A and B are shown apart, each in its own frame.
Chain A
Amino acid sequence: MIASADHPGEFLGYPRRDGRAGTRNVIAVIPSTGDASGVVAQVQRLRPDACCVVHQAGAAGPLADLERETLAGFASNPNVAASIFVGLGDPDDPMAALADATRARGGQACAVGLIGEGGWDAAVARTVEVYDRAAAGAQDAVRRPVPIASLVLGTECGGSDAFSGISANPVLGRAADRLVEAGATVVLAEVTELIGAEHLLIERAASPDVARELRELIARWEAFALRFGEDLGGDNISAGNMAGGLTTIEEKSLGCVYKGGSTPVVEVVGYGQRPRRRGLVVMDTDGHDISELTALAAGGANVIVFTTGRGTPTASPIVPTVKVASTTPMAERLSTMIDFDAGSVLSGVESLAAAGDRLCDLVVAVAGGRHTAAELLGQRDFALPPLVSSVAQ
């Protein structure tokens, strides 16, 4: 049964006004452009609990639209009680537009400008004051039973090893199926890793439109890679893969795709875009670990499960990121960084179904407030989409 014992079919989350639910209740402080990152870094020193991020975005450039969409999506994630954008505040500064876009997406936001406040120290002081007020206000939100259906689970794999495809990813796939069955949404990203098994994913499209969108998405990435002389549509399987027991590209790619489970694909969304439908959703992202975390957060994921063969030490600042190890020796060596050991299925002591159930229970517990290893360690990483994400669109 998916649920906390006291609340079958529900978890304890923060209901938001627009019907979504947070699994955390944080205040985000975000520079509107990279130039203001120093102010935000200083606020972080003064207020360690603030979820401060820094980035390199400019006020213009080829990525400006995608960057602003992503920042507004991130700031309006249901785990964020309120966001503060900090910028220079000159006419080109997007801080007011970012705050507006965040509110338009159901979030709460305001902007603090260096020019308006009268300089650096004044802007730091003002941001701290606004933060303190927002943090006090956030105390009014209390955890209440909310439906499992309000979970949006982001999935990601990084630092894969020869076992990721037979332990960690299939275990996550079983958990994903359970969550979709309970009405939740699961987001499968990293398009380049789907290639090789995309025909099998397209067969699972819930409608002809979704099938067409999947075909177009794959074609865009294949064409993009070909411009750099890389044939993603080829039999992209190495001698090392074969020595490990992989025979075909379909098999290799399915080892990655299977982490999204086996349910129909109900929707295809762009980088950092919020799904409109419940069920398994494919998101257009590159394979850069941190930018993918950002995309999932901007798309409204309220829990992320990150499978890893080598222990990749990264996590979202606002979305609890559950780390699943593919083998027991790695889980033990990096024990403080790992939440779940999928090596039990390799040791032949637990079935995939049983391990999937355990992971599903852990996801629900984390949604309800149980801290992840990454949260305890203070891993808070943020990166905007690399240029590749824009060029490939």
Chain B
Amino acid sequence: MTAASLLVIDPADSVAVALVDLAAGTTAATVEGVTATTLREVPRGHKVALRDHAKGEPVIKYGAQIGVSTEAIARGDWVHLHNLATVRGSTHDA
């Protein structure tokens, strides 16, 4: 059996975690059989979109919103600082 190279933490998640460095164009799968084909390189520990997100849509990991997309994110894309932002500013900003 080939080891899975993606991990989905919660069934409701819209992103998965890369368990190994994934080259662009890799079709990766979780143990449960959820798959995604990477649109670009995704380093180990980083996130891969499991579905298309429009700009401004919640991104879900741990079954909860970890932020919103700052641009459209296609299924298979790398999700990180360039396309995902917190919705929490500092609670102590002036």
Contact = CB atoms under 8 A, between A and B. Distances in A.
Contact of A348 (B3, B46, B62, B90): B3
Interface string A230-256: 010111000000101101111100110
Contacts of B1: 349
B7 A247 contact: no
A199 B9 contact: no
Say which size band chain B's interface belongs to: 35 or more
A354 B61 CA distance: 19
B27 to A, nearest CB: 14
Contacts, number: 106
12 contacts: A234-B91, A242-B81, A245-B44, A247-B67, A247-B81, A248-B84, A250-B66, A250-B67, A250-B88, A346-B19, A348-B19, A349-B3
Interface of B: 1, 3-10, 17-19, 30-32, 43-47, 61-67, 79-81, 84-92
Interface of A: 162-163, 166, 170, 196-197, 199-200, 222, 226, 231, 233-235, 242, 244-245, 247-251, 254-255, 257-258, 262, 345-352, 354
The 8 closest A-B pairs by CB, nearest first: A348-B4, A233-B91, A245-B45, A348-B3, A245-B46, A254-B62, A251-B66, A248-B86
Given A235-B89, A352-B7, 18 more contacts: A162-B45, A197-B64, A231-B92, A234-B91, A245-B43, A245-B44, A245-B46, A245-B47, A247-B47, A251-B61, A251-B62, A251-B66, A254-B62, A258-B9, A262-B10, A346-B19, A347-B19, A354-B31
